[in-house]
A and B are shown apart, each in its own frame.
Chain A
């Protein structure tokens, strides 16, 4: 790898980090864990010691982890709704930007529903959510040929809880990278 490429990569990473920061700033609703920036410093030591020089770490740009950590691979929906919420739009903007930057990446949009509905209706609802995200990404220039959709209905919850907060987490569309990441 040449120095030039490395520099370019570093610049890209900075842009992504900026994008992630702006996403965080825009979000008005509780944010999923996956949007939290990567930890940058160890916890303070109990014994006095000279402070080490800060070292930031993070996934390589263009990798699946980069997408998950710095962009966010999941957006959330209201009950029985597939409208893209205000807090989801910046995440999807970032997803579209990332996908436009890495045009060989293919994604599968997986729509999910909470358990408060019947299996069949929730399959249809999950499909609406997957397609709402698909329409958003396509409107931002991502080719539809790079996207497939599937609905898992209420079969694939990410939170096993039974509180409203758990239901909220389980109403989502997951953007899964199927190929093309670095």
Chain B
């Protein structure tokens, strides 16, 4: 895939019968590799009905945060109180240069059932691009807003969205030498944060399954470490088992059937893998070096990992059975925490060089290395399910860790919408 998003405005509406007869290339086309990219101006007036203003606000925030859209200040709107049953007055929206327009209506029935109808319009082509309806419980209105955001994002970029997702992470509090770490989860926009552990022991490196609402994480106590599997829907929590040594760095295979992790014995750390159905595990590396941070390729045939077998921490790729290990990082500096992208085309990593830390990406063969961020301490990238955005933790000297995001081009770097200290983020798959 090229690093290029083209915004097509098609004449056909998704839900209209006999659509897609003659998809016309529209005038809007954005190449996100260009340094001078202009985000697409969009207007999202408050939806009619209960919670309508809040739903529009969630959509607006999502689109703005992606960096690909520039929501227009509602104070500039000329047409007010749009009715979903009629076409908008396109001239009014052209006047304020809104390229896209999202309007909608919310109804709540006597049983508390929430229904949201919305339409996405190409203002300059004067065409409806989307017309959809979502129904849920009324307390679920934020998820409906995220699903609308995903539909708009997908329609305008051609790629799946990532807004109806959650992030599991480590919430940090306390000072630097007595830090309390709690497993926590929130919506990707920072809403609905909640704790999953009580902070009485250290937790680290939670990772989402890419197929289910299940996470794996490491717990560290003075008497040793454990890797847990935790099903967020059922609340069931179980240990991966006892391995006669420290265990850490767990990560699911993309089909969710295996967990790769590290076991340390006598100072030597190797990569192991456990089949979750049979509960059998095997050791994949046996080098007397540090072998850690394993991450499966999406097709499950390969594993990228971190090893200092060459003298300093570098990135390697091996077959999923542990054979054929080869080094892929060759730049100057130390490379760590490789994470295969959900699309398979990149491996993201942490790089330490020249007193700074970077989040970067390279091809699985090690080519096309690009550093996306630079700071005192950036670490631990996680991919949004569409492979377009990465979240990571950043620390300033002496400061608390914060969650940040960067898009895969490195152009859009910003703090994640979580106002407190957090580290080790892991992005969920799209919710069902």
Whether chain B is bound by chain A comes out as yes
Give A residues with C-beta under 8 Å from B: 80, 82, 108, 110, 115-121, 123-125, 127-128, 130-132, 134-135, 148-153, 155-162
Q: In the complex, which residues of chain B have a beta carbon less than 8 angstroms from the beta carbon of A135?
A: 267
Q: List 5 A-B contacts (CB under 8 A).
A: A80-B308, A118-B336, A119-B379, A120-B337, A134-B267
B339, chain A: closest CB distance, angstroms: 11
Instruction: Answer whether residue B286 sits at the interface, using C-beta atoms and an 8 A cutoff.
Output: no
Let me know if A120 and B293 touch, CB within 8 A: yes
Let me know if B177 and A80 touch, CB within 8 A: no
Contact of B290 among A128, A132, A149 (CB under 8 A): A128
Let me know if A157 and B350 touch, CB within 8 A: no
In the complex with contacts A127-B246, A150-B246, A155-B220, A120-B352 CB distance below 8 A: no
Q: In the complex, which residues of chain A have a beta carbon less than 8 angstroms from the beta carbon of B246?
A: 123, 127, 150-151
B280, chain A: closest CB distance, angstroms: 24
The listed residue with most A CB atoms (<10 A of its CB), out of B202, B267, B308, is B267
Q: In the complex, which residues of chain B have a beta carbon less than 8 angstroms from the beta carbon of A115?
A: 377, 395
The listed residue with most A CB atoms (<10 A of its CB), out of B290, B308, B350, B397, is B290
A143, chain B: closest CB distance, angstroms: 16
CA distance A159 to B177 in the complex (A): 7
Q: In the complex, which residues of chain B have a beta carbon less than 8 angstroms from the beta carbon of A134?
A: 267
Give B residues with C-beta under 8 Å from A: 175-177, 179, 181, 202, 204-205, 220, 222-225, 246, 248-249, 262, 264, 266-267, 269, 290, 292-293, 306, 308, 312-313, 334, 336-337, 350, 352, 376-377, 379-380, 395, 397-398, 423-424
A155, chain B: closest CB distance, angstroms: 5
Q: In the complex, which residues of chain B have a beta carbon less than 8 angstroms from the beta carbon of A132?
A: 267
B315, chain A: closest CB distance, angstroms: 12
Q: In the complex, which residues of chain A have a beta carbon less than 8 angstroms from the beta carbon of B397?
A: 162
Let me know if B290 and A118 touch, CB within 8 A: no
Contact of B292 among A124, A159, A160 (CB under 8 A): A124
Let me know if B398 and A120 touch, CB within 8 A: no
In the complex with contacts A159-B177, A160-B175, A160-B177, A120-B224 CB distance below 8 A: no
CA distance A123 to B202 in the complex (A): 13
Q: Who on chain B is nearest to A130 by CB?
A: B267
B397, chain A: closest CB distance, angstroms: 4
Q: In the complex, which residues of chain A have a beta carbon less than 8 angstroms from the beta carbon of B176?
A: 157, 160
Contact of B204 among A110, A119, A125, A148 (CB under 8 A): A119
Q: In the complex, which residues of chain B have a beta carbon less than 8 angstroms from the beta carbon of A158?
A: 177
Contact of A150 among B222, B262, B269, B423 (CB under 8 A): B222
CA distance A152 to B292 in the complex (A): 15
For chains A and B in complex, what number of residue pairs have CB atoms within 8 angstroms? Answer: 99
Contact of A120 among B179, B222, B248 (CB under 8 A): B248
CA distance A118 to B224 in the complex (A): 19
A71, chain B: closest CB distance, angstroms: 21
In the complex with contacts A108-B222, A127-B269, A155-B202, A121-B177 CB distance below 8 A: no
Let me know if B264 and A151 touch, CB within 8 A: yes
Q: In the complex, which residues of chain B have a beta carbon less than 8 angstroms from the beta carbon of A124?
A: 248, 262, 264, 269, 290, 292
Q: Who on chain A is nearest to B293 by CB?
A: A120
B400, chain A: closest CB distance, angstroms: 11
B305, chain A: closest CB distance, angstroms: 10
A8, chain B: closest CB distance, angstroms: 34
Let me know if B306 and A121 touch, CB within 8 A: yes
Q: Who on chain B is nearest to A116 by CB?
A: B352
CA distance A119 to B426 in the complex (A): 14
CA distance A153 to B170 in the complex (A): 16
Let me know if A118 and B222 touch, CB within 8 A: no
Let me know if A131 and B249 touch, CB within 8 A: no
B398, chain A: closest CB distance, angstroms: 5
Q: In the complex, which residues of chain A have a beta carbon less than 8 angstroms from the beta carbon of B220?
A: 150, 152, 155
Let me know if B398 and A162 touch, CB within 8 A: yes
A79, chain B: closest CB distance, angstroms: 11
Q: Who on chain A is nearest to B290 by CB?
A: A124
Q: In the complex, which residues of chain A have a beta carbon less than 8 angstroms from the beta carbon of B380?
A: 118-119
Contact of B205 among A80, A120, A125, A160 (CB under 8 A): A120
Let me know if A131 and B205 touch, CB within 8 A: no
B306, chain A: closest CB distance, angstroms: 6
Let me know if B293 and A118 touch, CB within 8 A: yes
Let me know if B352 and A125 touch, CB within 8 A: no
Let me know if A121 and B336 touch, CB within 8 A: yes
Let me know if B262 and A119 touch, CB within 8 A: no
CA distance A158 to B267 in the complex (A): 22
In the complex with contacts A80-B312, A151-B246, A160-B176, A118-B379 CB distance below 8 A: yes
Q: In the complex, which residues of chain A have a beta carbon less than 8 angstroms from the beta carbon of B350?
A: 118
Q: Who on chain B is nearest to A111 by CB?
A: B267
